[in-house]
Chains A and B, each alone.
Chain A
Amino acid sequence: MSWETVIGLEIHVQLDTKSKIFSGASTTYGAEQNTNTSPVDLGYPGVLPVLNKDAVMMAIKFGLAVDAEISRRSIFARKNYFYPDLPKGYQISQYELPIVHTGSLEIRLNDGSKKVVGITRAHLEEDAGKSIHDKFANETAIDLNRAGTPLLEIVSEPDIRSAEEASAYMQKIHQLVRYLKISDGNMQEGSFRCDANVSVRPSGQNELGTRTEVKNINSFRFVENAINYEVERQIDRLEDGDEVAQETRLYDPERDETRPMRSKEEANDYRYFPDPDLLPLEIDDETIEEIRKSLPELFDAKVKRYTEVLKIKENDAEEIARNMQVAEYFEAILENFNHDAQLISNWILSEVIAVLNRESIEINAFQIEPSRLASLLSRIHDNTISSTIAKDLFNQMLSSDETADEMIEKQGLEQITDEDSISQFVTEVLDEFSEQKDQYLAGKEQVLGFLVGQVMKRSKGKANPKLVNELIIRQIKR
């Protein structure tokens, strides 16, 4: 029998506000335990939540970016359950009337095909604290710094049909929240996490199979692994004539498996009701329009502009636009050097990315500012230096703050484009390597590269390679 997989994702995005969603405590990551906690975050008696404006604006931004409806009126509700990292005994969330609903997002798959995934809703809620189980021998340690950090929970329709699609969707959402600057998207720090609802059904069947909810997925690779494991497990059970239990499972990346979560076994009777401490949130059209105007150019529009206006190869345009910080870097260079966008793109995608990978840094921390790289590219473009020398200067720039022009002048690196000087090197080389010269004449054209190399060596790399090529051929054939 063939099986069809049905997946819906719930993505939790920590919003990048300075203070918590309902209190004035800081949201800074990595603070010492329980130092970013106010009485509101600690669930103290008598204290009350007050809603953070920026969290609301960020949710609207996201909604507009996925063509969703923005609720003119939304309601905060309490989700009641006991857990030590949930100090009030309830989580403030949105239940019946979320701030964002009915949107969609187009994803692109490896084979180049495109697919639209529906977004059911996105709602605001508060994050819980952290339980640390290995700190004390007989007790669990509780750190409430994270409690009250604003979260946007983005719930997809069950439109996703494979692990690959799930990963592509998760990446697209990740890219989007970074583009919108509403989250740092840092998965190691838990700013971007995902739960997957997974079920299988015989191909052609309309009814959905029993689903499991897989929690704790914090990388694109894990979402694929977790879903693949879960799909296989469910199919195995069904093919053996067993049932799939509706349950919450935890993904364990070390063992690459999912297993049932004990603490979630209890009946999930959350007793949602409108939070009487918070009033209905009303958003007017004016606010929505203001936010709409402030939306940045998003990925698809950027790729279109890069290919159609800047004439960059489509693959390269996508590579550049994939990460907004990279795209911003690219555009900053373009402001100083607008003659050859493809050249900029080539340099970023090869040289710059190589350094970022080697040093494991983000482009924001890259040592060469856009204006300095622009100056270097300008000198390549106007033939002042060869790309070989440019690469050398690029490496020097990593540990200096000189501009290309300063380096060229100081080091006397200006490219030799004067035919007489180059001809002199060519004559010397052809004298010394007459054997290769004869080989070339006999039709072995590969030796040309060797001869060019010899000339370049003599010119200390400063000769214009194109010119060297020409002059060698001209002299041999003379």
Chain B
Amino acid sequence: MSIDKSDIEYLCNLSKLNLDDEEQSVFLSQMQSILDMIEELEEVDTGDIEPMAHPLKMTQRLRVDEVTEFNDREKYQKNTDFAEDGFYKVPKVID
């Protein structure tokens, strides 16, 4: 699979990253060599092999429905300078 500049732009948009022109061309060639390496996988016959999402064969445990966390807003909002009146703030969004 070969990728081009428009692929990188599409991926940057999905992952919300800006790259400047120089970064973009370096990334393009590096990504291409990474993808070439990944393509080795094509030669493996994986037929009806079950995909492995977890290293351990365990199943999900369930938590009892109870409130264990209480208001700690002031503490959490110390990690940002962009909270006001208890709200987090982002540039204006228009729907």
The answer on direct contact between A and B (beta carbons under 8 Å) is yes
Contacts of B91 in A (CB 8 A): 138-140
Contacts of B58 in A (CB 8 A): 279
User: Are B89's CB and A142's CB within 8 A?
Assistant: yes
Shortest distance between the CB of A267 and any CB in chain B (Å): 8
A244 interface contact, C-beta 8 A:
no
- Taking A53-B63, A262-B95, A276-B54 as known contacts, 9 extra A-B pairs with beta carbons closer than 8 A to each other, sorted by chain A number, are A18-B67, A33-B87, A36-B71, A53-B64, A84-B88, A139-B92, A142-B90, A266-B13, A280-B59
Q: Which of A53, A132, A278, A282 contacts B65 (CB 8 A)?
A: A53
Q: Total number of A-B contacts with CB less than 8 angstroms?
A: 125
- In Å, the complex CA distance between A431 and B33 comes to 115
User: Are A282's CB and B13's CB within 8 A?
Assistant: no
User: Are A142's CB and B87's CB within 8 A?
Assistant: yes
Is chain B's binding surface mostly helix, strand, loop or mixed?
Answer: loop
User: Are B95's CB and A133's CB within 8 A?
Assistant: yes
User: Are A84's CB and B62's CB within 8 A?
Assistant: no
Interface centre among A42, A53, A80, A141 (most CB of B within 10 A): A141
- In Å, the complex CA distance between A53 and B61 comes to 8
Q: Which of A54, A140, A262, A274 contacts B90 (CB 8 A)?
A: A140
| Mask of A142-159 contacts with B, CB within 8 angstroms, 1/0 | 111000000000000000
Q: Which residues of B come within 8 Å of A, CB atoms?
A: 10, 13-14, 16, 53-54, 58-73, 76-77, 84-95
Which size bracket describes the interface of A in this complex? 35 or more
| Mask of A45-82 contacts with B, CB within 8 angstroms, 1/0 | 00000111111100000000000000000011000101
Shortest distance between the CB of B49 and any CB in chain A (Å): 16
User: Are A133's CB and B67's CB within 8 A?
Assistant: no
| Mask of A23-54 contacts with B, CB within 8 angstroms, 1/0 | 11110000011111111001010000011111
| Mask of A101-113 contacts with B, CB within 8 angstroms, 1/0 | 0000000000000
Q: Which of B13, B65, B89 contacts A139 (CB 8 A)?
A: B89
User: Are A281's CB and B89's CB within 8 A?
Assistant: no
